[in-house]
A = this chain, B = another copy of it.
Amino acid sequence: MQVYQTIREAAYEANMQLPALGLVLFTFGNVSAADRSKGLFAIKPSGIPYQELSPAKMVVVDFDGKTVDGALRPSSDTLTHAVLYKHWEDICGIAHTHSTYATAWAQSLRDIPVYGTTHADHNTVDIPCASPMSDEMISGDYELQTGYQILNTLTARGLSHQEIEMILIGNHGPFTWGATPAQAVYNSAVLENIAHMAHLTESINGTVGRLKESLIRKHYERKHGPQSYYGQ
């Protein structure tokens, strides 16, 4: 339907960036695009290869994950997206991938330490790795619980979803979000890059420490602070 054309196109364009940026193998990833005024989001259909996608194939669902429009079954991760949209009222895009380096950190059950300014340009803290879920959460409504695991992990660490737009789910892989679906995909690519360089950093110097606070603050604020001077 024409009425969902904007989010379908936004979701389509953002999904197509995943293979273009080298973040997915086969169908191992998905992006969604929300329309806050309607309380809906468009998401990749489950298991369809990227080269077969089109805006029309995007599935429109509500913030409880129920399909509103679309002939295909939505991504199996739809409920995770739904939970985040429901709780975080200012995001309009979410991305999930199994990108190689970010996923390796998730499998390693480790936060990614802030080792450099590339990291600090985007986040002032280590990128959190949520613990694997309890057996109860897994055997329950798994994808819904994945969403709550993300919410709870940020809360437990005193972080807001504006301060950090990326997380690792232990043993699984990364989720990222942002004001737009394009921003969510951007964050996925940045996270993969940070994950790659953090791994190399530890290989090159096994005793290296985190970036010092003054440098973290400086880089984050020149890009995101009230006196930011990066970009146009």
Contact = CB atoms under 8 A, between A and B. Distances in A.
Interface of A: 25-26, 28, 45-48, 72-73, 76, 98, 100-101, 103-110, 115-118, 132-133, 135, 138-139, 142, 171-173, 186, 189-190, 193, 196-205, 208, 211-212, 214-215, 218, 222, 229-232
A27 to B, nearest CB: 8
Nearest to A110: B205
Contact of A231 (B47, B101, B106, B197): B47
B115 A76 contact: no
A52 to B, nearest CB: 11
Contacts of A25: 189-190, 193
A73 B45 CA distance: 41
B108 A232 contact: no
Contacts of A193: 25, 98, 100
Given A26-B186, A106-B116, A232-B73, A171 B222 contact: no
A204 B204 contact: no
B47 A230 contact: yes
Contacts of A211: 132, 171
Contacts of A229: 46, 73, 76
Most buried by B among A25, A28, A171, A211: A171
Given A116-B172, A171-B211, 13 more contacts: A46-B232, A47-B232, A72-B232, A73-B232, A104-B204, A105-B204, A108-B200, A109-B205, A110-B205, A135-B212, A171-B215, A199-B203, A199-B204
B76 A222 contact: yes
The CB with the most chain B CB atoms within 10 A, among A72, A101, A172, A200, is that of A200
A198 B142 CA distance: 24
Contacts of A108: 200-201, 204-205, 208
7 contacts: A46-B229, A100-B193, A100-B196, A108-B204, A110-B204, A133-B215, A199-B204
A3 to B, nearest CB: 24
A73 B171 CA distance: 43
A186 B65 CA distance: 30
Contacts of A199: 200, 203-204
